[in-house]
Structure 1
């Protein structure tokens, strides 16, 4: 049973970490494109500045949860699964919200 929990928590945390990082990377790409547009991209830059800290927080939480899944105790692995999984879901929802906001505008 311990091996199943280890593998499951590792995989969920890995997917959560990738989803949270995808949100942060998307915000960085969006900011770069908006900066290249100059004055016409100022609204996008303002939006990204407001959401960048939250994206980084999701990524840091997902990485911390991922590191907890590498522990030898089942309790820490389950806590890491919940933290990284929750951060991944939050990062994914934030990514979808940002994509809906700017679909086709850049």
Structure 2
């Protein structure tokens, strides 16, 4: 039984403790994560569109299509993981900070 508790405690220690952060710092971190998420989504959309275009072109080799498809799926997994992290930040912050859509600041 002690082992089960130990592994649970270890899992708790590896999860970020956003709820313990200063709210100002957490808001800055969250804004940065939102910007990164937007950047990732835009880049992922480009890969998806390239995959779709290639799928419609009979002269494109199957190996190229497979590579584009794998890249698209890998990006989806990374985006989902980043979204989970962002969700944890937003939960701890308690609100969604304003980040203009055309904001290019880093």
Same fold, TM exceeding 0.5?
yes
Three-state SS of the structure 1 residue aligned to 2:74 is helix
**Once the 2 structures are TM-superposed, how far is the Cα of residue 5 of structure 1 from its aligned partner?**
1.3
Q: Decide which structure has greater helix share.
A: 1
TM-score if structure 2 supplies the norm length?
0.57
Is the contact between residue 20 and residue 62 of structure 1 (CA under 8 Å) also seen in structure 2? no
Q: Give the number of equivalent residue pairs.
A: 72
Structure 1 stretches of 4+ moved >4 Å: none
Structure 2 residues not aligned, in runs of 5+: 1-20, 94-106
In the alignment, is residue 41 of structure 1 matched against residue 41 of structure 2?
no
CA distance in 2, matches of 1:28, 1:69: 28
CA distance in 1, matches of 2:80, 2:89: 14
- CA RMSD in angstroms comes to 2.0
TM-score if structure 1 supplies the norm length?
0.57
Match of 1:76 in 2: none
Q: Which has the larger radius of gyration?
A: 2
